[in-house]
Structure 1
Amino acid sequence: MYSTVPDGYEKYSDPPPSYSKDTASGVPVSSDGSLYYESSKPAAFQIQSKTRLPWSSGLFGCFSDLKTCLVTCFCPCITFGQVAEIVDKGSTSCGASGALYALVCCVIGCPCFYSCFYRAKMRQQYLLRQTPCCDCLVHCFCECCALCQEHRELKTRGFDMTIGWHGNVEQRNRAVAAMAPAEVEGSMSR
């Protein structure tokens, strides 16, 4: 029926997966337990949900941003706090997240058990691949490199890490307002 299928799209030969509504929330859920969204596009042009994007830089690309690398080596709670604030979309502050990271580090001695959850959350938000291994192992064996990679990824995506989530939102709102056309005062009348 179709001669070519655009990249990133899948032609379905079978009907879309069956779904039912979750009784507690009423949200459609597919048979494998994942959320199922109906699309207005034909099934032949639905984007594959399994497609994951690569990270903008490698895990060991720490030295491309020497300042972040040094801060992370000597005080990883600062880098973690900045990443956590952006990933949580401002629901927790940089200071609170950094303090909790430092507390976990002092009490347990291994903050990777806390920070790996933020890596997983960030990967889900931006559809990033789980490379080179699972998030927990990346943070257990390369904590500083993992934090630096997450920091670089967010910077690459346009976030100014020094001003936090609310500062980035305000900055983007100002940019959008500046691009909006000015209203024309007075209209023509007879």
Structure 2
Amino acid sequence: MYSSNASDGYPQKPGASAPPPPPPVDGIPVQPMNQSYANFGGPNNPLPPAGLQARPINNMPWSSGLFSCFDDVPTCCLSFWCPCITFGRIAEIADHGSVSCPVHGAVYTVIALLTGCACCYSCFYRTKMRQQYQLQEDPCADCLVHFCCESCALTQEYRELERRGFDMSIGWQMNMERQNRGIPMAPVPPGGMMR
């Protein structure tokens, strides 16, 4: 009496038209993947399908602007005259101490001397740091920021880590020991530090 449609396994009423075939699979997920982990599981936002993971949005603003270099004159001067030191300190913190500041500084210096373009190396650490702290890619792509103004980029990254409670002059290991001894790291107010 009822015909069976092989595509869905349910019997069909006589004279009823078959449902349209499902759309072809093109590899593009139906649900956007740029939602924060905290947004999943609510009544209006079900958990993502198995096998798909949501990626957090990189939307946190930097604690200071790219061209706010003169808000911190000592760091600005260090970044301009000795960028290898500034970069080495930033990279050690971004790498969680797996490679020391002097090694990063030496690699930066060698690249700068051989190619004159150490920004090709330092921009990768800006990206790494941005991903760790979910910071915006602002005002443009990381490589362009470092290529156009290496000193300003290094100064901004250095200040960001300081405002997150790191004492940049003591390195990753000493910062972790200081934190484990119970010496609190300076909290960062939501809008950055104010004077």
* TM-score normalized with structure 2 length: 0.70
Per-residue deviation, residues 95-142 of structure 1 (Å, max 9, x unmatched): 000000001101111011100000000000000000000000000001
Q: Which runs of 5+ in 2 are unaligned?
A: 1-37, 185-195
Residue identity in the other structure for 2:70: F
Corresponding residue pairs, total: 146
The equivalent of 1:106 in structure 2 is 113
Mapped to 2, the partners of 1:51 and 1:159 lie a distance apart of 21
Query: What percent of counterpart residues are identical?
Result: 53
Once the two structures are TM-superposed, the CA of residue 12 in structure 1 deviates from its matched residue by 6.0
Q: Which runs of 5+ in 1 are unaligned?
A: 1-7, 21-29, 31-35, 38-47, 178-190
Per-residue deviation, residues 2-47 of structure 1 (Å, max 9, x unmatched): xxxxxx8475646433233xxxxxxxxx2xxxxx27xxxxxxxxxx
Q: Post-superposition, which runs of at least 4 consecutive aligned residues in structure 1 deviate over 4 A? A: 8-12
Higher-Rg structure is 2
* TM-score normalized with structure 1 length: 0.71
For the Cα contact (< 8 Å) 2:162–2:168, is it kept in 1?
yes
1:18 maps to 2:52: no
- Secondary structure in 2 matching 1:144: helix
Q: 1:145 to 1:12 in 2, by over 3 A?
A: farther
Q: 1:101 to 1:134 in 2, by over 3 A?
A: same
Residue identity in the other structure for 2:115: I
Mapped to 2, the partners of 1:64 and 1:81 lie a distance apart of 21
Structure in which a larger fraction of residues adopt helix: 1
- Superposed, 1:110-129 pairs within 5 Å as 110-129=117-136
The equivalent of 1:155 in structure 2 is 162
